[in-house]
Amino acid sequence: MVNRSRGKVAGAVGTVVAIAGCLAQPGSNPPAIVADCIQQYRPATPDPMPAGANSARFSQDVTYAPPCPALAPAGEQRWSAIVVDKDDQTLRIYFIGGLPDERCDLLRSVSVDEQESTVTVRLEAGADPGISPQAACSAVGHNYVTQIHLSKPLAKRIIQGPNNSGEIEHTQHFSRSRTPE
């Protein structure tokens, strides 16, 4: 069964209920410098992806990247695909970012706004505050995934947020929905 729904991100977002920092052990502090964040990057096993053009690129060569609050803000970063795990609370967010060695267009933060009928996921890009603002970053994109946990199961709520015609795979329900911005 294929479930399709379309939605737009509202102009104002409600209360942010979760902002993910580097996913360290509970009670530990997030890394204070960019190099510590990048050391946490590691190869990731990609999830089965929705059958769409935007998510096909994430079938291989994906790097797990925790958010890094040590990065300087660099604007919005759009997600390409979200996989909802079987527990219906874990979201794996796939996006394209900059190359780790260049230290720009990396994941600075993830914010989640959970409402009764929607879950809005927003990514923020960042750059190493130590690089020159005039430094050029490569136009070559790198495949990343990060992970968050919702406060309660997704159930019938719709995932939305700034995305690249984002594709969503619900592994528990084996249905797909598409929520372009």
Residue with tokens 């990048």: 38
Query: What pTM was computed for the model?
Result: 0.75
pLDDT for position 166: 64
Residue 176 to residue 96: CA distance in whole angstroms: 21
pLDDT in tens, 46-104: 777 766 666 677 888 899 999 999 999 989 999 988 989 989 999 999 999 998 888 88
Answer left, alpha or beta for residue 61, where phi above 0 means left and psi between -120 and 50 means alpha: left
Between 181 and 155, residue with greater pLDDT: 155
Cβ–Cβ < 8 Å for 173, 155: no
CA gyration radius for the chain?
16
Nearest residue to 22 (alpha-carbon basis) of 64, 59, 57, 53: 64
Cβ–Cβ < 8 Å for 50, 174: no
Between 139 and 174, residue with greater pLDDT: 139
pLDDT band at 154 (very low <50, low <70, confident <90, very high): very high
- Burial (CB < 10 A; 0-12, 13-18, 19+), residue 7, is middle
Dihedral (Cα; 58, 119, 158, 115), 10-degree rounding: 170
Cβ–Cβ < 8 Å for 95, 161: no
